[in-house]
Chain A
């Protein structure tokens, strides 16, 4: 028996206190939606977690009106210092219930408990803590004199980091003095609904935060098209982002979009190879590759390609795929059946187009949605797996010969969200970083996030920044592009 056959170490779900049914959280009240209900399942087991009421357009209307009323009567009249205190309360309540949120997120999303426990939830608390302090300091944000809130912010978030994306949206919006209507993703509404409890516990005035689960095509569209919304913030696919931008053309509604990516992870031949291998893995296998800023294209200098790929496959063999609640799991479940089908299809296309496929030989559970970590080598720049965002644990390996070629290949995509650089040559690192058309560049590291650090894309990866001082600009009326 291998030492690595660790005995199961499941995180207990006893800490959860879930309700069998969740409604919409509007104006400080739980209410039923008009859009029917769905059963939220755990993608790792396909077992149902809870029944979730779905919003229809009239529910969105109610939520926007509630947000407007609370904006007009309470939130816009409150001092920044008082607003900040609510955000501090929220940050603390999340810290206190961190484990509970981590377990719920893992259950609902399928991502490993190690990630929700060590990354997602701590960052959620950090995000609220950071923006809490901004609420009474907006004058110092360098965004012009007397910065004012926009009003009601409609926020639509994805399923890959459910609660973290909520924090990225809600914290700066509230700090800047807006009220919000937030629509979580269909497959991952649970922690957003639990967050509604936090808002209640924090004593946040009714209507400041409204949580409305729903289908994108119904509730999402209604929110985007609602005339009473002053701002739309969306994180999700480029296709949907494009529709939102088109829909909002000619309106006064401000919009920021955080969309897809096809990040290049560039490894030079002088790189710290073992750390680079870790970074490549963190870049594409973190959160099953359901990461918009994933380093999904490995660009490795040709003279070390074999060594890097060999080390990479060897290292991948030590990754543990399985029960996301097990504390030793590295790779969890794919979030949904639909996403699994999409990943499977693109991988098949890549293979058909001539790339060489390597798949980790590992057991997968009989129930749930699973995709084995996969690496494509002999990938040409025209291959689908080198161009399309896969949003799954699939890495495409391309090679380059010179730094110029690396830069050209890295930038050869309509996306521009993230990139990685691995070299010990500081001068080359800085120069390559300058040339990359990407909003976040990680040098000798990857997939690091911090509330003080602006995040967002170039080109078709969207516009606007989330995080830090820059993230406030998305929620304040100070001009600029939309």
Chain B
């Protein structure tokens, strides 16, 4: 079987960087000379198969110790400096009683938001949406259409605000950026470009590939990265791996000019299953450097739920009370109706506080939600019920 040079470069790079083989050994394994192996490695660097970054010792993070965690400023401040302290910290968190949490969420859901409050809530929801398309069938055209919708959600009503961001796969970032043009911003100043990364949605790949995925999205112009945690590692009790990956991805969000894309960490709550797990994963993500904690990829059921979001809001509230720093929360997947979204807003206001009702601190990961909000808006404007033919399909 013949391999192309690119494929050989990839295999050589794996053997060299991941497995620590010498060029001689690589030659033996691949049946080539060690000079050829050397050339393949050079090719790997040139073509971006391998990206090498130099970590300055003045950086916030230290070099990863063997079998340990890469300590961050946040974790150090909480006394989390190694595997043991991370584990103790996460297991020392107050437990969650599922029924109590669900009752709390259920009660929040009984709030009745009417008239002016409803009108304001609908506009707020739009401003907080990460308008999302994450399909294998996504094309530049689909993304351009999505971006137009993000900028001008309701062509029949120019008072409708724009959304916070569009959320796409890494290879679609360039198209989103191009389509946004001067409309691009940070979610408040303009529309952000969020990209999922790190082998989304399963996250089942090597760290290097996840980092490359991240760097690629950032280099394409993504302003926000939605990464997935390694749920397998989390469930097997390997908190170090989960933590270190977030630290590495956080670092990979950096741009050459010293700025960086914001990092949302997806816990994929539907796979973690228990509220205790979700609470631990949320704290872990924050300690490792998350700007946002996010419930779900949208590819696993259950995706976002109100109790899960309430729990995450409690975590960021507690983090704020502990440190004075505000972390964002993003429920994603399954929020399709205005009625539901309003319940989430009530939860944000009552659990975390009004300050969180801000695109910098709260987002809805959604696609069909926007149209339902527009229908509701039209109903409030015109006084009669609207229909799906009166909102655009993208």
- Which residues of A are at the interface with B, using a C-beta cutoff of 8 A? 2-9, 114, 118, 270-276, 278-279, 318, 327-328, 424, 444-445
Q: Which of B94, B345, B348 contacts A274 (CB 8 A)?
A: B94
**Assuming the A-B contacts A327-B110, A328-B111, are A7 and B118 also in contact, with contact meaning beta carbons closer than 8 angstroms in the complex?**
yes
**Assuming the A-B contacts A7-B115, A278-B104, are A444 and B110 also in contact, with contact meaning beta carbons closer than 8 angstroms in the complex?**
no
Given contacts A8-B114, A275-B96, 18 further A-B contacts (CB under 8 A): A3-B120, A3-B124, A3-B348, A3-B357, A4-B350, A4-B354, A6-B113, A7-B118, A271-B94, A272-B96, A273-B94, A275-B100, A275-B101, A328-B112, A424-B97, A444-B99, A445-B97, A445-B103
- Which residues of B are at the interface with A, using a C-beta cutoff of 8 A? 94-97, 99-101, 103-104, 110-118, 120-121, 124, 314, 345, 348-350, 354, 357
CA distance in complex: A12, B118 (Å): 19
CA distance in complex: A272, B103 (Å): 14
CA distance in complex: A165, B124 (Å): 44
Question: By the criterion CB–CB under 8 Å, are B96 and A274 in contact?
Answer: yes
**A residues in contact with B117, CB < 8 Å:** 3, 5-7
**Assuming the A-B contacts A273-B94, A318-B350, A444-B99, are A7 and B104 also in contact, with contact meaning beta carbons closer than 8 angstroms in the complex?**
no
Question: By the criterion CB–CB under 8 Å, are B112 and A3 in contact?
Answer: no
**A residues in contact with B118, CB < 8 Å:** 7
CA distance in complex: A45, B354 (Å): 31
Q: In the complex, how many angstroms separate the beta carbon of B357 from the nearest chain A beta carbon?
A: 5
Question: By the criterion CB–CB under 8 Å, are B114 and A272 in contact?
Answer: no
Question: By the criterion CB–CB under 8 Å, are A278 and B100 in contact?
Answer: yes
**B residues in contact with A424, CB < 8 Å:** 95, 97
CA distance in complex: A273, B97 (Å): 9
Question: By the criterion CB–CB under 8 Å, are B354 and A3 in contact?
Answer: yes
**Assuming the A-B contacts A274-B96, A327-B112, are A2 and B354 also in contact, with contact meaning beta carbons closer than 8 angstroms in the complex?**
yes
Question: By the criterion CB–CB under 8 Å, are A3 and B345 in contact?
Answer: yes
Q: In the complex, how many angstroms separate the beta carbon of B129 from the nearest chain A beta carbon?
A: 17
A to B CB contacts below 8 Å, 6 in the list: A3-B124, A3-B354, A6-B111, A7-B117, A275-B96, A279-B100
**A residues in contact with B104, CB < 8 Å:** 274-275, 278
CA distance in complex: A51, B348 (Å): 45
* Most chain B beta-carbon contacts within 10 A, residue among A7, A270, A278, A327: A7
Q: In the complex, how many angstroms separate the beta carbon of B293 from the nearest chain A beta carbon?
A: 16
Question: By the criterion CB–CB under 8 Å, are A444 and B112 in contact?
Answer: no
**A residues in contact with B112, CB < 8 Å:** 6, 9, 327-328
Which 5 pairs of residues, A with B, have the shortest CB-CB distance?
Answer: A275-B100, A9-B112, A327-B112, A272-B97, A7-B117
Q: In the complex, how many angstroms separate the beta carbon of A78 from the nearest chain B beta carbon?
A: 41
Q: In the complex, how many angstroms separate the beta carbon of A461 from the nearest chain B beta carbon?
A: 25
CA distance in complex: A2, B117 (Å): 10
Question: By the criterion CB–CB under 8 Å, are B350 and A445 in contact?
Answer: no
**B residues in contact with A276, CB < 8 Å:** 100
CA distance in complex: A9, B118 (Å): 11
**Assuming the A-B contacts A270-B95, A273-B94, A327-B110, are A4 and B100 also in contact, with contact meaning beta carbons closer than 8 angstroms in the complex?**
no
**A residues in contact with B114, CB < 8 Å:** 6-9
Chain A: interface secondary structure? loop
Question: By the criterion CB–CB under 8 Å, are A7 and B116 in contact?
Answer: yes
**A residues in contact with B101, CB < 8 Å:** 274-275
**Assuming the A-B contacts A7-B116, A445-B100, are A2 and B349 also in contact, with contact meaning beta carbons closer than 8 angstroms in the complex?**
yes
CA distance in complex: A5, B117 (Å): 8
CA distance in complex: A318, B310 (Å): 15
* Most chain B beta-carbon contacts within 10 A, residue among A4, A6, A278: A6
CA distance in complex: A7, B345 (Å): 15
Question: By the criterion CB–CB under 8 Å, are A114 and B110 in contact?
Answer: yes
CA distance in complex: A286, B104 (Å): 14
**A residues in contact with B350, CB < 8 Å:** 4, 318
Residue of A nearest to B310 (CB): A274
**Assuming the A-B contacts A3-B357, A4-B350, A445-B99, are A272 and B113 also in contact, with contact meaning beta carbons closer than 8 angstroms in the complex?**
no
Residue of B nearest to A5 (CB): B117
**A residues in contact with B120, CB < 8 Å:** 3
CA distance in complex: A38, B113 (Å): 38
**B residues in contact with A5, CB < 8 Å:** 117
**A residues in contact with B314, CB < 8 Å:** 274
**A residues in contact with B124, CB < 8 Å:** 3
CA distance in complex: A9, B117 (Å): 10
Q: Which of A8, A272, A278, A444 contacts B94 (CB 8 A)?
A: A272
**B residues in contact with A278, CB < 8 Å:** 100, 103-104
CA distance in complex: A272, B110 (Å): 23
**B residues in contact with A7, CB < 8 Å:** 113-118
CA distance in complex: A278, B97 (Å): 11
Question: By the criterion CB–CB under 8 Å, are B100 and A272 in contact?
Answer: yes
Q: In the complex, how many angstroms separate the beta carbon of B350 from the nearest chain A beta carbon?
A: 5
Q: In the complex, how many angstroms separate the beta carbon of A320 from the nearest chain B beta carbon?
A: 9
CA distance in complex: A276, B100 (Å): 8
Residue of B nearest to A443 (CB): B97
**Assuming the A-B contacts A9-B114, A274-B314, A275-B104, are A444 and B357 also in contact, with contact meaning beta carbons closer than 8 angstroms in the complex?**
no
* Most chain B beta-carbon contacts within 10 A, residue among A4, A271, A276: A4
* Most chain A beta-carbon contacts within 10 A, residue among B97, B103, B354: B97
**B residues in contact with A3, CB < 8 Å:** 117, 120-121, 124, 345, 348-349, 354, 357
Q: In the complex, how many angstroms separate the beta carbon of B112 from the nearest chain A beta carbon?
A: 4
* Most chain B beta-carbon contacts within 10 A, residue among A118, A274, A276, A278: A274
Q: In the complex, how many angstroms separate the beta carbon of B107 from the nearest chain A beta carbon?
A: 8
Residue of A nearest to B102 (CB): A275
Q: In the complex, how many angstroms separate the beta carbon of B283 from the nearest chain A beta carbon?
A: 14
Question: By the criterion CB–CB under 8 Å, are B349 and A4 in contact?
Answer: yes
**A residues in contact with B345, CB < 8 Å:** 3
CA distance in complex: A280, B9 (Å): 63
**A residues in contact with B121, CB < 8 Å:** 3
**A residues in contact with B354, CB < 8 Å:** 2-4
**B residues in contact with A272, CB < 8 Å:** 94-97, 100
**B residues in contact with A271, CB < 8 Å:** 94-95
CA distance in complex: A275, B115 (Å): 32
CA distance in complex: A4, B117 (Å): 9
CA distance in complex: A114, B114 (Å): 16
* Most chain B beta-carbon contacts within 10 A, residue among A275, A328, A444: A275
**A residues in contact with B113, CB < 8 Å:** 6-7, 9
Q: In the complex, how many angstroms separate the beta carbon of B242 from the nearest chain A beta carbon?
A: 23
Q: In the complex, how many angstroms separate the beta carbon of B349 from the nearest chain A beta carbon?
A: 4
Q: In the complex, how many angstroms separate the beta carbon of B351 from the nearest chain A beta carbon?
A: 8
Q: In the complex, how many angstroms separate the beta carbon of B99 from the nearest chain A beta carbon?
A: 6
Q: In the complex, how many angstroms separate the beta carbon of A130 from the nearest chain B beta carbon?
A: 22
Q: In the complex, how many angstroms separate the beta carbon of A117 from the nearest chain B beta carbon?
A: 9
Residue of B nearest to A425 (CB): B95
Q: In the complex, how many angstroms separate the beta carbon of B119 from the nearest chain A beta carbon?
A: 9
CA distance in complex: A267, B92 (Å): 17
Q: In the complex, how many angstroms separate the beta carbon of A12 from the nearest chain B beta carbon?
A: 12
CA distance in complex: A450, B113 (Å): 30
CA distance in complex: A237, B216 (Å): 72
CA distance in complex: A69, B97 (Å): 53
* Most chain A beta-carbon contacts within 10 A, residue among B94, B111, B124: B94
Q: In the complex, how many angstroms separate the beta carbon of B316 from the nearest chain A beta carbon?
A: 13
